[in-house]
Amino acid sequence: MNSKRGQWASNLGFILAAAGSAVGLGNIWKFPGKIAAYGGGAFLLLYVLIVALIGLPVMLAELSIGRATQKNVVGAFHSLNRRWTFCGALGVITLFVILSYYCIVGGWVMKYVFVYLTGAHFPATAAPFQDFFVQFISAPVQPLLWGALFLGACIFVVVRGVSSGIEKFSKFLMPCLFLLLISIMLRAVTLPNAWEGVKYLFEIRPEAINGDTLVAALGQAFFSLSVGMGIMVTYGSYVPKKENLLRSAVMICFLDTLVAILAGLAIVPVVFATMGAEGLGMGGGFAFMALPEVFAMMPGGVLFGLAFFLLLFLAALTSAISILESCTAFLNEELHWSRLKSTLLLAVPMSLFSIGYSLSQNADRGLNLPWLDWKHGLQWLPMNAVMEKFTDNLMIPLGALLFCVFVGWIWGTSKAAKEIRGEAQKPFKLEKFWSFIVRYVAPVVILIILYFTLIQGQG
């Protein structure tokens, strides 16, 4: 074993860091929008089932690869089976693209924190809120500066290393995030008319359970759990050999889902309370457009606004850190660049993607890229849409599929299971069931998803 490698100082630290990776913009920015778009409770139900039955097993598979090899994602595959090195490389490419847009959205969040902090008030009616957001994100330079600042914050933590950087920050940031989220949620569900929103979230309308909802729930689950691209290989590689991985993985999935549901409860009722059901159409814009309006109408709203965007910032930061760490670990261990050099040299090519993503928020300035699916043929779409489709619809499911095939059929679930058990070497509960899922169920389900997104052009 490489004695210079970092390790988590405690299992709690690992769980919080991994939960910090999982809990991110996906939970607070994307999830409430998805749940609104796909019919409330039906989506929630499918989502929770998918997390438990597919997401958790895939996460375990990933963690086991990392812990067994104690290497970055490319090195890990290389050492288990040279021919599968490409699988780790695909992971790094996916991470690189995700980080380039994650930083831009993270920058938007920082801008909002700044606006609330400096006491600048947003206008009090709906349209100006939307205008404010749209004008800001479609400006040429300002969002890039905020994005750079956000990336700078990630670099600041990652160069400090695993236990004294990522772990230390996560142990402090994650509890803050919970406290903030719970207080915002309590405020949201006690607004007048909020009950309609709560009902919407939990009421299962059978007609909303369909293929579209399933595809959306699966994509969201992988993105939200940070599986399918090697983050969990990297984070698993820092776990000491003695630990049992099952308990940690269950905890990480539980925390991630809890935060998603709490975020749904903090946001959807607020939209119902102020705009009624039509407000749901705002999808991903909830956080940036609907909520500031609500905060402006609430007593003490500026404080809530500040708390909310601070929360979103912490969530985004700990996730972006995990992405940067996974790319950095690869450069650091394979090319022997220092952590600082790795992060800085990564930032250069990444900025090009970030710039493209940010500029294409503005249709006039927009850069278009080709996207191909069977149903619609070749389309030219804004670069931001193509980047999100590339990662969410193609690379993440493909990565998860390859990880499952590798663990299930190449490396073997019995070796992986041994790794998961930890020091005690007692077979874990449902070990056979887990192996069945990784070998058969997850690959089939992921193939179905890929069929819908790539052949049917959904999503």
CA angle in degrees (0–180, nearest 5) for 40-42-43: 70
Q: Which two tokens stand for residue 332?
A: 């650091």
The answer to whether residue 24 forms part of the interface with ligand TYR (CB under 6 A) is yes
26 touches ligand TYR (CB under 6 A): yes
How many angstroms separate the CA atoms of 94 and 392, rounded? 9
Tokens 């695909």 identify what position?
A: 90
Residue closer to ligand TYR (CB basis): 24 or 75: 24
For residue 369, list its beta bridge partners: 381
Task: Give the one residue of 43, 129, 133, 223 binding ligand TYR; rule: CB under 6 A.
Answer: 223
Nearest Cα to Cα of residue 101 among 342, 285, 360, 362 = 360
Question: Strand, coil or helix: what is 336?
Answer: coil
Q: What is the distance of C-alpha 160 from the center of its chain? A: 22
DSSP assigned state of 163: I
323 binds ligand TYR (CB under 6 A): yes
Among 64, 69, 100, 224, binds ligand TYR (CB under 6 A): 224
Stretch that binds ligand TYR, among 46-54, 63-71, 218-226, 330-338 (CB under 6 A): 218-226
* 386 in contact with ligand TYR (CB under 6 A): no
25 binds ligand TYR (CB under 6 A): yes
Min separation Cβ 1 and ligand TYR, Å: 25
Q: CA 303 to CA 288: how far, in whole Å?
A: 16
Out of 17, 22, 201, 263, the residue judged to bind ligand TYR by CB under 6 A: 22
Give kind and range of the element (H or E) at residue 432.
Answer: helix 431-436
- The minimum distance between CB 364 and ligand TYR, in angstroms, equals 29
Which x/- pattern, by CB under 6 A, does the window 83-122 give for ligand TYR? ------------x--x------------------------
CA angle 73, 313, 228 (to 5 degrees): 25
Based on CB atoms, which residue is closest to ligand TYR, 233 or 302?
233
Q: Annotate 105-124 with b (16+ C-beta within 10 A) or e (fewer).
A: bbbbbbbbbebbeeeeebee
Return the residue of 184, 229, 306, 387 that touches ligand TYR, per CB under 6 A: 229
**Residues interacting with ligand TYR, by CB under 6 A?**
21-22, 24-27, 95, 98, 223-224, 226, 229, 231, 319, 322-323
